[in-house]
Structure 1
Amino acid sequence: MNDTGGPALLLSAADVPPVHEFNVEGRSPFLLTCDHYGRLIPRLLGDLGLPESELERHIAWDIGIAGVAEALSKHLDAHLIVQRYSRLVIDCNRPPHAASSIPLISEATTIPGNEGLSRETAATRRAQIFDPYHRRIDDIIDQRGNAGRPTVLVSLHSFTPVYAGIARPWHIGTLYHRDTHLPPLLLKLLRAEGDLVVGDNEPYAVSDETDYTIPVHGEARGLMNTGIEIRQDLISDFAGENAWAERLARILREIEVMLRLV
């Protein structure tokens, strides 16, 4: 599948908007985001040339994190902003200039629908999916700031138990770059749980070259921030999703008190 569509044709009236929100009136200082919440593909793009089995895998979305994010939003009374389209269409946690923004290969899978894209079509994917999501996050941070409300950015993700044949031991990881306030507290409290293997910038580390949400919305705006990665086999069903949401809500409430955000 090659580039055949004009720039105005990516999302039609039959496609849902890329941005979805939960608990918009939530009073928590934590603002939750979920870059890889969904695995939708615009109808114009069909299946990107992939079988359904590939579109159900981690290459298309962060398995399990949608349920965790929604439950955590309820438990914390926190505003949650999510992005519904697959990262195979455009990755909303990659700088648009990065090669992985619209991947030609994800892990070992070639993405036929991303081959031969013109600059105009790549720009359309950004304009209709990436930009509205990040513009909404910006707008909400502005609104909260204008209202004198504190904002702590928490970006939610999940990771595969095995990558490139290597098992990953961590149950959960904290991801960060420049913030020296929130991530150490979160790391300390997670490790104090006693039953967790906790990654310190594992299985990934945040950087300006590989990430977008935390560098742009957290660090550049001077907000306390952290990424959270949960191993997917732990959140593969409703019970796991809710158990992790309850645990994170309890820990984040404790951090809220420690940081005097209440």
Structure 2
Amino acid sequence: MNRASDTSLRFGTHDVPPVWEQNAAGRSPFLLTCDHYGRLIPQMLGDLGLSDAERQRHIGWDIGIAGVAERMSSALDAHLVAQRYSRLVIDCNRPPEAASSIPLISEATTVPGNEGLDAAAAQSRRRLIFDPYHQRIDAVIDARLQEGQPTVLVSLHSFTPSYAGIARPWHIGTLYQHDRVLPPLVLQGLRAEPGLVVGDNQPYAVSDDTDYTIPVHGERRGLLNTGIEIRQDLISDAAGETQWAERLARVFSEIEVTLKQRGLI
């Protein structure tokens, strides 16, 4: 990588826009977001000094969640807003000022292409990828509110079966910070499914320091919100993606009924 070019980073002729959407006219109250949907890297940045095998790991994207998100969008008639570029370029679910926004080391793997970046280079990545994605989510929420369309934010992610050598027993978890309405309903719905180990703010919890999408688009906008984390070995193929999308669509359809009965949407 020519690091000097990073300060004036721009997309090449074969690069695609960072934002990808599905079912923009969907009438569901659920707005789906997918911060780690893709693992693309802008042409100008090459491979960030990593092999393709490394870039395909969790450090590069949320394995399996793209297929789940697309299937959920179709099943629920929900608008999906997703981000195509690798979290190694810039993590779209981290505050830009956080050290993990452009990681020098990710899960013990050094990212050579992220070494020695100055503030201008970091800002260039934000301008190219991070800002358009979050500006689009803002615009979608604004339009829905102006139209009087109920909006409930669901941020979709996946997690590794083990971390630092410790196995993670959860099949799925619901993540939250301040919302005390939606996450309990998600927990209730998932725990009614046979055989599932469901995490309550596990394997992660949402915070202003470590997350961006839920705090900024959910909490600051006053929307009901939750994060969903699915263990990656369960969605590593199309069959798993379909199974989990169908399960989540069923759970969220029931939640929609409950929210309407309570007058919350």
Answer yes or no: is 1:3 the counterpart of 2:11. no
- Structure-1 separation of matches of 2:41 and 2:186: 34
Moved over 2 A (4+): 6-10
2:192 alignment counterpart: 192
Displacement after TM superposition at 1:2 (Å): 6.2
Q: Deviations over 1:45-100 (max 9, x none)?
A: 00000011100100000000000000000000000000000000000000000000
Contact 1:36 1:87 in 2 (8 A): yes
Match of 2:111 in 1: 111
1:118 to partner: Cα distance: 1.4
Cα RMSD (Å) of the superposition? 1.1
Structure 2 counterpart SS, 1:81: strand
1:180 aligns with 2:162: no
Aligned pairs for 1:156-235 within 5 A = 156-235=156-235
Cα distance in 2 for residues equivalent to 1:250 and 1:69: 14
Contact 2:9 2:125 in 1 (8 A): no
1:153 Cα deviation from its structure 2 partner: 0.2
How far apart are the structure 2 equivalents of 1:81 and 1:8? 26
**Structure 1 residue 195: Cα displacement:** 1.1
Deviation of the 1:189 alpha carbon: 1.1
Task: State the distance in 2 between where 1:9 and 1:59 align.
Answer: 22
CA contact (8 A) 1:35 1:92 kept: yes
Q: Percent of aligned pairs with the same residue?
A: 73
Q: Which residue of 1 aligns with 2:54?
A: 54
SS at match of 1:21: strand
Q: Is the 8 A contact 2:6 2:45 kept in 1?
A: no
Structure 1: give runs of 5+ residues left out of the alignment: none
User: Do 1:2 and 1:117's aligned partners in 2 also have CA atoms closer than 8 Å?
Assistant: no
Return the offset for 1:194. 2.5
Contact 2:6 2:44 (8 Å CA) reproduced: no
**Separation in 2 of the partners of 1:122 and 1:189?**
41
Name the SS for the 1:155 alignment partner: strand
* 8 Å Cα contact 2:2/2:45 also seen in 1: no
SS in 2 for 1:227: strand
Whether 1:143 and 2:115 are equivalent positions in the alignment is: no
> Number of matched residues?
262
Contact 1:2 1:112 in 2 (8 A): no
Task: Tell me the SS of whatever aligns to 2:113.
Answer: helix
Structure 2: distance between partners of 1:195 and 1:140: 36
1:44 counterpart residue number? 44
SS at match of 1:149: coil
Question: Does the CA contact (< 8 Å) of 1:159 and 1:229 recur in 2?
Answer: yes
Q: How does 1:118-129 map to 2 (within 5 A)?
A: 118-129=118-129
2:86 is the counterpart of 1:86? yes
5+ residue gaps, structure 2? none
Q: Secondary structure at the match of 1:259?
A: helix
1:31 — aligned with what?
31
2:40 match: secondary structure: coil
Give the TM-score normalised by structure 1: 0.98
Q: Name the amino acid aligned to 1:206.
A: V
Per-residue Cα deviation, 1:170-190 (whole angstroms, up to 9, x for no partner): 000000000010000100111
Contact between 2:8 and 2:121, CA under 8 Å: does it hold in 1? Answer: no
| Conservation of the 8 A alpha-carbon contact between 1:2 and 1:115 | no
Distance in 1 between residues matched to 2:259 and 2:249, nearest whole Å: 15
Measure the CA separation in 1 of the matches of 2:8 and 2:207.
32
User: Could you tell me how far apart the structure 1 residues matched to 2:37 and 2:9 are?
Assistant: 23
Q: Secondary structure at the match of 2:4?
A: coil
Following TM superposition, by how much is the alpha carbon of 1:7 offset from its aligned partner in structure 2, in angstroms? 3.6
Mapped to 2, the partners of 1:223 and 1:8 lie a distance apart of 36
Measure, in 2, the Cα distance between the counterparts of 1:10 and 1:114: 16
Which amino acid is the alignment partner of residue 80 of structure 1?
A: L
Measure the CA separation in 2 of the matches of 1:22 and 1:200. 29
1:181-235 per-residue CA deviation (whole Å, 9 max, x = no partner) reads: 0000100111111310000000000000000000000000000000000000000
Q: Give the Cα separation in 1 of the matches to 2:9 and 2:78.
A: 34
